[in-house]
Amino acid sequence: MKELLTFSIPLLLCSLVWSGYLEYDQDVLIPADWNHVGRVDPTEELELTFALKQQNVNLLEEKLRLVSDPDSPQYGKHLTLEEVASLVRPSQMTHKVVHHWLRSHGITNCLTVHTQDFIQCSMTAEVAEMLLPGSRFHRYVRNGQSIVRSSAPYSVHDDVHQHLDFVGGLHRLPPKGQELSQEQKQSKEGLHLGVTPAILRTRYNLTAADVGTAQNNSQAVAQFLEQYYHPADLAEFMSMFGRGFQHLSQVDRVVGTQGGGKAGIEASLDIEYIMSTGANIPTWVFTNPGRHESQEPFLQWMLLLSNMSDLPWVHTISYGDDEDSLSTAYMMRINTEFMKAGVRGISLLFASGDSGAGCKHLGKEQNSFRPSFPASSPYVTTVGGTSFKNPYEVTYEVTDYISGGGFSNVFKMPEYQVSAVERYLKTVAATLPPKSYYNISGRAYPDMAALSDNYWVVSNRIPVPLVSGTSASTPVVGGMLSLINDHRLLKGLPALGFLNPRLYKLKGQALFDVTEGCHLGCIDEQVQGKGFCAAPSWDPVTGWGTPNYPALLAVLLA
Ligand SMILES: *[C@@H]1O[C@H](CO)[C@@H](O)[C@H](O)[C@H]1NC(C)=O
Ligand SMILES: *[C@@H]1O[C@H](CO)[C@@H](O)[C@H](O)[C@H]1NC(C)=O
Ligand SMILES: *[C@@H]1O[C@H](CO)[C@@H](O)[C@H](O)[C@H]1NC(C)=O
Ligand SMILES: CC(=O)N[C@H]1CO[C@H](CO)[C@@H](O)[C@@H]1O
């Protein structure tokens, strides 16, 4: 289906002549599971988000490197939102040109964010289509959810082209959840060792004393689909599984609007597990189904981060899209947004995905792996998945074959991981998949991992077994990083912030190395269902491995 998009090349050529396509490589096809309702009435109000060109992005990147590198004198000297704003705020010229452009179309109903690099405006569909030549707005529905998107690529006038990164609200669909599977991998039901908070705390060496106590520590999960957690499920989960360690049974703060209806397994899982490893730490839920049908929920969350000066230190996010479905302009800009968070001392953790290396069909008997974003961003910490070697006992961990991993086709390999990745490629050279399947110069992920198989979740008041996915491992790691932040804050040290430069310098110290098993790849003659395989030290399946909490605490407190 994606191949149809090659029509974007002639469009790009003509764009040079009259007006610019900001996102010429954006996938504009709406998947068949969304039903087309029809054209949007010209008088209907839409809400679009304009990502204004920022200043000093190179300086921001350098600053992030310095505050995240434990060997730099600037380590931990994080910026406030105000300081980030004065660094990246768009130029006066950019503001003038963009505002003039909007006003000349009668668009005046706009909000901005603290960093002034996003503007969100309402306008009628008719005005939006005039403003953005090429766009044509339609309504689509799926499972009772309704969205408005453009069926064709949009362009912008030459005058504003250089002042914008992209316009949000036209193409990207609410992000896919990392498909949680709930199937059994072994045959004897009931005999499994289901993963519960007690099992995780045993495996990762958390004692009853390992709970949060600091005054102003907090952690968060973000939800984007029609996914809600129910306070009653969380309470029930904690009463069933929360014995033996002090914990909270209520969310501290919900940012955004929780819808009604049924709880989602994903939302229940995230909140129940971040609050079990990051026990007793105040927890926020960011929930954004999109206030308006034309909003992109993930982008809305990014805007919130740029508009709130007081945020939790750790955020875990269990969603992602294929890199090749998103425009480069969009991914580059979102990556800058991750830098803006990291430089403030915020740790962003993303699930690595549940399709192993992924697979993209390029042509007849020609495939390649398929990286996912934001997992492939160099400025987030990406978490893969593992299983117990023996599913009936707390043993050492092996690769969970679904664990997402590989190499980005968009982001260059960051300096902090070069030697780790080179070492891997050398160690396993003889058994690597053919080079045509992946891009050896790209950002390699995941960075670390945790158990992702056979979790117990309470959803809609019912204990549900056998829930699996990197959606599970991500909040588990997030909770443990929050506990480490807790100790750091008590000692007057800054929060961990963007962890990767420090994580890679540990070279696997304080982590349980995962060395067995391969994840999924393409089902074809060349690779026969396999992607990459775990190996000693870092690998693109489980990263550096899983946390040995007391050891990790010790090295990250030093
Ligand atoms: C950002 O926050 C300010 C208040 O602090 C608010 O007025 C503004 O509407 C917010 N922006 C968006 C896009 O919601
Ligand atoms: C942590 O767990 C591992 C494996 O379960 C065990 O070998 C080790 O002794 C434990 N304690 C510490 C402090 O690492
Ligand atoms: C490989 O990744 C680099 C960035 O690391 C990118 O510039 C290049 O286009 C990618 N190649 C392919 C075939 O996607
Ligand atoms: C991020 C966070 O939890 N901040 C809290 C720090 O403490 C003040 C005062 O108690 C709260 O208002 C913040 O929400």
Does the CB atom of residue 307 touch ligand 1 within 6 A? yes
Mean pLDDT of all residues in 326-349: 98
Of the candidates 549, 467, 398, 383, the one whose C-alpha atom is nearest the C-alpha of residue 195 is 467
Mean pLDDT of all residues in 489-500: 98
For residue 545, report the distance from its CA to the centre of ligand 2, in Å.
14
Of the candidates 460, 145, 520, the one whose C-alpha atom is nearest the C-alpha of residue 297 is 145
pLDDT reported for residue 429: 94
The mean pLDDT of the chain is: 91
Q: Is 266 in the active site?
A: yes
For residue 552, report the distance from its CA to the centre of ligand 4, in Å.
26
Atom 8 of ligand 2 has which residue's CA nearest to it?
Answer: 205
Mind listing the pLDDT tens digit for each residue in 412-451?
Answer: 999 999 999 999 999 999 999 999 999 999 999 999 999 9
Global pTM reads 0.94
Active-site pick, 266, 323, 324, 400:
266
Confidence check: pLDDT of 486 > 60: yes
How far CA 533 is from CA of 431, 480, 528, in Å, comes to: 9, 26, 13
Mean pLDDT of all residues in 363-383: 95
Confidence of residue 367 (pLDDT cuts 50, 70, 90): very high
Strand partners, 379: none
Mind listing the pLDDT tens digit for each residue in 212-235?
Answer: 999 999 999 998 766 788 899 999
The larger pLDDT score, comparing residue 127 to residue 525, is at 127
282 CA: nearest ligand 4 atom:
3
Mean pLDDT of all residues in 287-295: 74
For residue 244, report the distance from its CA to the centre of ligand 2, in Å.
19
Confidence check: pLDDT of 16 > 50: no
Of the candidates 75, 209, 69, the one whose C-alpha atom is nearest the C-alpha of residue 553 is 209
* Tokens 């503001």 -> residue: 95
CA distance 512 to 448: 10
Confidence of residue 11 (pLDDT cuts 50, 70, 90): very low
CA distance 503 to 147: 40
Lowest mean pLDDT among 55-59, 141-145, 153-157: 141-145
Ligand 1 pocket test target in 112, 301, 308 with most atoms within 8 Å of CB: 112
Taken in order of first residue, the domains within the chain and their CATH numbers are: 2-54+89-168 (no CATH), 197-557 (3.40.50.200)
Atom 10 of ligand 4 has which residue's CA nearest to it?
Answer: 216
Per DSSP, the residues of 14-35 read: HHTTSEE-TTTT---PPPTTSE
Confidence check: pLDDT of 5 > 60: no
Does the CB atom of residue 409 touch ligand 3 within 6 A? yes
Confidence check: pLDDT of 283 > 80: yes
pLDDT reported for residue 258: 74
Mind listing the pLDDT tens digit for each residue in 379-413?
Answer: 999 999 999 999 889 999 999 999 999 999 999 99
Q: Is 471 in the active site?
A: yes
For residue 205, report the distance from its CA to the centre of ligand 2, in Å.
6
Ligand 4 pocket test target in 215, 284, 310, 344 with most atoms within 8 Å of CB: 310
Does the CB atom of residue 550 touch ligand 2 within 6 A? yes
Q: Which protein residues touch ligand 4 with a CB less than 6 Å away?
A: 216, 218, 282, 310-312
pLDDT reported for residue 280: 98
216 CA: nearest ligand 4 atom:
6
Phi, psi torsion values for 86, nearest 5 degrees: -70, -20
Does the CB atom of residue 122 touch ligand 2 within 6 A? no
Confidence check: pLDDT of 241 > 70: yes
The larger pLDDT score, comparing residue 449 to residue 1, is at 449
For residue 302, report the distance from its CA to the centre of ligand 1, in Å.
13
For residue 476, report the distance from its CA to the centre of ligand 3, in Å.
32
For residue 218, report the distance from its CA to the centre of ligand 4, in Å.
8
How far CA 160 is from CA of 27, 53, 100, 146, 284, in Å, comes to: 22, 10, 10, 31, 38
Lowest mean pLDDT among 123-127, 193-197, 489-493: 193-197
The token pair that represents 69 in the structure block? 């590198």
Lowest mean pLDDT among 15-24, 132-141, 282-291, 338-347: 15-24
For residue 64, report the distance from its CA to the centre of ligand 4, in Å.
24
252 CA: nearest ligand 4 atom:
3
Mean pLDDT of all residues in 145-154: 92
pLDDT reported for residue 365: 82
Q: Which ligand is nearest to the CA of 215?
A: 4
203 CA: nearest ligand 2 atom:
5
Helix, coil or strand: residue 251? coil
Atom 10 of ligand 3 has which residue's CA nearest to it?
Answer: 409
Confidence check: pLDDT of 9 > 90: no
pLDDT reported for residue 86: 98
Burial 449-484 (b: 16+ CB within 10 A, else e): bbbbbbbbbbbeeeeebbbbbbbbbbbbbbbbbbbb
Element at 230 (helix H, strand E)? none
**Could you tell me what percent of the chain has a pLDDT over 70?**
92
pLDDT reported for residue 12: 44
Of the candidates 50, 142, 160, 29, the one whose C-alpha atom is nearest the C-alpha of residue 96 is 160
Q: Which ligand is nearest to the CA of 308?
A: 1
pLDDT reported for residue 288: 73
Mind listing the pLDDT tens digit for each residue in 182-206?
Answer: 654 444 455 567 999 999 999 999 9
pLDDT reported for residue 1: 24
Confidence of residue 289 (pLDDT cuts 50, 70, 90): low
The larger pLDDT score, comparing residue 20 to residue 129, is at 129
Confidence of residue 290 (pLDDT cuts 50, 70, 90): low
For residue 12, report the distance from its CA to the centre of ligand 3, in Å.
19
For residue 239, report the distance from its CA to the centre of ligand 2, in Å.
27
Does the CB atom of residue 546 touch ligand 2 within 6 A? no
Confidence check: pLDDT of 520 > 60: yes
Q: Which ligand is nearest to the CA of 482?
A: 4
Confidence of residue 180 (pLDDT cuts 50, 70, 90): low
Q: Which ligand is nearest to the CA of 199?
A: 2
Per DSSP, the residues of 383-412 read: EEEEEESSTTS---EEE-TT---EEEEEEE
> Which residues, at least 6 apart from 488, have a Cβ–Cβ distance to it below 8 Å?
494, 495, 496, 556, 557
Confidence check: pLDDT of 14 > 90: no
Question: Is the CB of residue 468 less than 8 Å from the CB of residue 383?
Answer: no
Q: Which ligand is nearest to the CA of 439?
A: 3
Does the CB atom of residue 412 touch ligand 3 within 6 A? yes
Does the CB atom of residue 111 touch ligand 1 within 6 A? yes
CA distance 365 to 452: 32
Atom 2 of ligand 2 has which residue's CA nearest to it?
Answer: 205
Active-site pick, 318, 368, 387, 471:
471
Mean pLDDT of all residues in 365-370: 94
Does the CB atom of residue 234 touch ligand 1 within 6 A? no
pLDDT reported for residue 287: 87
The token pair that represents 326 in the structure block? 């998103």
Active-site pick, 233, 270, 296, 354:
270
114 CA: nearest ligand 1 atom:
1
CA distance 111 to 350: 28
